[in-house]
A and B are shown apart, each in its own frame.
Chain A
């Protein structure tokens, strides 16, 4: 699995050699060979779900679509397996945990949060369906979640949720500092006004730019992940993951949700700083688990590009 990594390094080195000055080239070569010799890279495995909508059990055997697929016990088994194989795992959810099966109607989200806690989710953001039983419906279930809710563009300060979510968090994995911020969709027109009360919705792009800067410059984040419930793409100019990806400077990955988009693979974008950013989303109902492994080096010279290839 590391073969491709070394090859990529070498290719990038040659490319840089051709483009850059001799001085940089020589320094670069030294750095690359060091990295290659000592295998000095950190592998970060990001696992993610979105819009799993209370689908605790697999789809019924007689379901017209997705029969027997999904199920959180199966998801947990896979996550356990990956955790056995990988040292640095981050498990995230991009919102809309609530609503979709009678489990939610009867238990109001308690079991969803308990199971996510047991599986060891590191964080989630809040989707529009989390408001289905109002702000009280979120507040009453938060004690069942042993992981933080990261919401950067919902201002809950005038609501009962004041101080109960966080705007960002830095996770340490294998010596890497990974900053995470969270973006929620505009609630007006989507959620009944009574259900979100005095929640203020802030401009997602503006907040994303503030958060990535803050995480990088003040909190020393090596990588930045955006947990988004904005939606993958719209025909209108409504803000989406595409818009965030193309207009930010320092975010490495957007884990999306809301539009229930089944992406075959993460989508590569070029951001405002001409750097790569990935956008991924895994449909809905817990039918898939997204996995993205980042091979990160501190030794190599700053490359302009990396390649993304499927795990076989």
Chain B
């Protein structure tokens, strides 16, 4: 018994000696707010490193692209901004397809009203204006849709009171889309149509779930904002104004 006790004490002592493992004894913490209450001023070395980037960024952001003929505001059922952006996305998208996807012939475009984060103000349009219009990194996506799914999407647009579209026409009656037309012809449930939109909407964003039933999807890798900037720069180079008109592409039917 005594032998056993000694052995036990020895074993314990050995265990204690082996305890060179690190043990946390206490923790002190602080999630420190980085604001003017801090007793440190800014790091001049880091500030100097940022400056050339900041200056260059400001120069690029203030680059003039073109002139807008009037304020282009977003709205429903259609709007100058919605029509302007949707039209340019459709026309630029067609050019992109000719170059990169010759088998794809897009006929409609869809841009959600909620995605326009600022109007394009009358007068000089800068790169900054477009960043304000479209701060997101959305990508241009091509979708092959069945006519019936396009009709479901148009019904969704009608329930929203209208969205930004090009290449299509529809009337809104009791939150439903009526007299749906694509490229001037009545929408055919059994035909297929190629649409240009954003990855956000193609992924079902903003309630456009019917787009998840697409027959084919092509991610172009082109950023929507870059497409808009390139188009507006081209307008400026050609001495043209950024302009849009309301043409009744989406209207409230009686």
Contacts and interface: CB of A to CB of B under 8 A. Distances in A.
A310 B25 contact: no
Counting contact residues on chain A (CB < 8 A from B), the size range is 35 or more
B46 interface: yes
A94 B33 CA distance: 18
B185 interface: no
Nearest to A42: B22
B216 interface: no
- The 3 lowest CB-CB distance pairs between A and B, nearest first, are A222-B22, A76-B43, A73-B42
Interface residues of B, number: 47
Contacts of B45: 76, 118
Nearest to A296: B22
A74 B26 contact: no
Contacts of A23: 8-9, 12
A193 B12 CA distance: 57
A217 to B, nearest CB: 12
B57 A106 contact: yes
Contacts of A245: none
Interface stretch (B47-55, B76-84, B245-253): B47-55
Contacts of B199: 192
B54 A78 contact: no
Interface in B1-48: 8-9, 12-13, 16, 19-36, 38, 40-47
A132 B38 CA distance: 33
A193 B57 CA distance: 30
B40 to A, nearest CB: 4
A17 interface: no
A162 interface: no
Contact of B25 (A21, A75, A262, A300): A300
A75 B22 contact: no
Contacts of A176: 22
A213 B28 CA distance: 26
A85 to B, nearest CB: 12
Contacts of A307: 26-27
Contacts of A239: none
A93 to B, nearest CB: 14
B221 interface: yes
A278 interface: yes
B137 interface: yes
B23 A106 contact: no
Nearest to A100: B135
B12 A306 contact: no
B139 interface: yes
Nearest to A72: B46
A302 B19 contact: yes
Contact of B31 (A69, A72, A76, A264): A264
A77 B42 contact: yes
5 contacts: A280-B31, A296-B23, A303-B23, A306-B24, A308-B28
Contacts of B21: 222, 298, 302
A176 B19 CA distance: 15
Contacts of B46: 72-73, 76-77, 115, 118-119
Nearest to A129: B137
A31 B13 CA distance: 12
B29 A71 contact: no
B23 A311 contact: no
B60 interface: yes
A107 B46 CA distance: 17
Contacts of A278: 27, 29
A295 B27 contact: yes
